[in-house]
């Protein structure tokens, strides 16, 4: 039995440009659970439009499988994906196929952002949502398609069009608050944030209090999903109702 990870050893995949998901996941880690990271090497390329974003997605696709296989040598017990865009691609059916490939390569079960958010929305019992992302329209269209394939109604969405992978992590609370205000309305049951390098776990938790509806940050949903899938019921306070109540 691992001396520190005596309850669970999580392998975690994150892009080499991502500086948010690792500290976020570590803040959610219960005693006896350890997180072990493998970086998906991608360039910190300039992203100005849909075509640039698609090139970035291709960089993910070519390096993710290798990063997953590297983690096998630490004898991880479960894999948590700290990257999200590609996990929404090609609708729910395409996302299932992608996840199956990761599972086969890693040799363990997997939690990823798309299916974790689906599970979180079902836990809250909501159907109509709005979402924000750091992406470009081509990626938001894929996120929308995934949610609609899952039976949810996407009322509206916002893409912040961040100019590079690293600069996603420079997105301010002010920018996210403005997006939340624009997305909210009586026609929306929940607000969802996607993009694991966008820091919104604590802001989402605060927004739930004043909006009186679910505001779900993808990093919180993904780690919550992983904990519950491996049978760890610990409730974590201060990072949103999903982790503290479900």
pLDDT digits (tens, 9 = 90+) for 144-159: 999 999 999 999 999 9
DSSP helix/strand/coil, 14: strand
Counting the structural domains of the chain, the total is 2
Structural domain includes residue 198: yes
Question: Which portions of the chain are predicted below pLDDT 70?
Answer: 62
**CA–CA dist 175, 121 (Å, integer):** 24
Which one, of 17, 6, 7, 19, lies nearest residue 219 by Cα? 19
Answer yes or no: do 47 and 103 share one domain: yes
Per-residue confidence (pLDDT) for residue 60, from 0 to 100: 74
Domain limits for position 85: 8-114+220-245
Say what the pLDDT of residue 142 is.
97
- Please report how many Cα atoms fall inside a 13 Å half-sphere around the Cα of residue 58, on the Cβ side: 7
Q: Does some domain include residue 204? A: yes
Tokens 């069009």 found at: 161
What residues form DSSP beta bridges with 36?
Answer: 11
- My answer on whether 230 and 211 are in the same domain is no
């Amino acid at each position: 039995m691992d001396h520190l990870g005596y309850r669970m050893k999580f392998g975690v995949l994150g892009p080499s440009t991502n500086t948010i998901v690792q500290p976020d996941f570590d803040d959610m880690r219960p005693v006896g659970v350890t997180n072990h990271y493998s970086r998906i090497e991608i360039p910190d390329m300039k992203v100005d439009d849909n075509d640039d974003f698609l090139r970035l997605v291709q960089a993910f696709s070519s390096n993710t499988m290798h990063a997953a296989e590297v983690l096998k040598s630490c004898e991880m017990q479960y894999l948590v994906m700290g990257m999200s865009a590609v996990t929404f691609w090609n609708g729910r059916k395409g996302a299932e196929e992608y996840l199956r490939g990761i599972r086969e390569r890693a040799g363990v079960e997997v939690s990823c952002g798309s299916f974790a958010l689906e599970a979180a929305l079902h836990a809250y019992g909501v159907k109509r949502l709005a979402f924000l992302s750091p992406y470009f329209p081509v990626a938001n269209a894929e996120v929308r398609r995934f949610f609609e394939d899952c039976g949810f109604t996407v009322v509206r969405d916002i893409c912040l069009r961040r100019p590079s992978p690293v600069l996603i992590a420079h997105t301010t609370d002010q920018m996210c608050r403005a997006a939340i205000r624009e997305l909210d309305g009586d026609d929306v049951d929940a607000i969802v944030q996607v993009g694991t390098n966008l820091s919104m776990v604590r802001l989402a938790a605060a927004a739930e209090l004043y909006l009186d509806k679910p505001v779900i940050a993808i990093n919180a949903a993904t780690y919550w999903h992983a904990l519950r899938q491996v049978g760890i019921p610990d409730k974590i306070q201060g990072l949103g109702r999903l982790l503290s109540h479900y």
